[in-house]
Amino acid sequence: MDADGFAAVSGATPSQMADLERFRTLLAERNEVMNLVGPATLPDFWNRHAWDSAQLTRLAPEARVWADLGAGAGLPGLVLAILFKGREDAHIHLVESMTKRCKFLSEVVVALELPATVHNARAENLELPVEIVTARACAPLHRLLGYARPYLQGGATGLFLKGQDVVAEMREAARYWEYEADAVPSKSDPRGRILRVKRLGRARRV
């Protein structure tokens, strides 16, 4: 998929495409000195990163306030912020514990004037009132649910981008948590799944 292909499937406007291109350039530049994404994935930016992130909006089209846990390179958080730019009351909370990555996230937020706040903190230590909590390549599900617990128990829905091992991850997570979830096929990778979590509590036994 190239830029035109992404615009076609996502419905991104010319202004959004310009912001995404600027983000792509900054990501490639900073990736030379920081471990943000695998270098081999950058040539496939529009499908592997942009469309993989943007597809989440179709699962929660009315949601305005999101938290991206372990935001790292800004995937999906910065992509979502670009797509939400100009939308009334829209805001993305980018939660990242590594200071160097927070500097990158802040640089992009300021450069593109995005509706986003960068939090240099551990996700589980924050209590942000959000509608959707998301994460990509953050942690195995049983640990990720621990990070997302304050948000999910506050009423948020989880939309977590997962790979082909999602069934095994769900089985392992069930040892630690009682949760309600369904796996939605990814539009960017036939092997991927988006895990939609709506309820979370501690398992009765481990």
Q: Where are the domains of the chain?
A: 3-202
User: How do 132-136 and 177-185 pair as beta strands?
Assistant: unpaired
Contacts of 96 (CB under 8 A, 6+ apart): 70, 71, 72, 102, 105, 118, 119, 120
Q: With contact defined as beta carbons under 8 Å apart, do 46 and 2 qualify? A: yes
Instruction: Please compute Rg for the chain using Cα positions.
Output: 16
Contacts of 103 (CB under 8 A, 6+ apart): none
Contacts of 180 (CB under 8 A, 6+ apart): 197, 198, 199
Q: With contact defined as beta carbons under 8 Å apart, do 70 and 25 qualify? A: no
Tokens at 78, concatenated:
């910065």
Contacts of 65 (CB under 8 A, 6+ apart): 89, 90, 91, 92, 93, 129, 130, 131, 132
pTM value?
0.93
d(CA 71, CA 176): 24
Q: What is the pLDDT of residue 204?
A: 65
d(CA 139, CA 11): 30
Among 3.40.50.150, 1.25.10.10, 3.55.30.10, 3.30.465.10, name the CATH number for the domain at 3-202: 3.40.50.150
ω into residue 76 within 30 of 0, thus cis?
Answer: yes
Which pLDDT tens digit goes with each residue over 85-137? 999 999 999 999 999 999 999 999 999 999 999 999 999 999 899 999 999 98
Under DSSP, is residue 203 helix (H, G, I), strand (E, B) or coil? Answer: coil
What are the per-10-residue average pLDDT scores of the chain (206 residues)?
A: 96 97 97 91 96 97 96 96 95 97 97 98 94 94 94 94 93 92 94 92 64
d(CA 188, CA 169): 20
Q: With contact defined as beta carbons under 8 Å apart, do 77 and 36 qualify? A: no
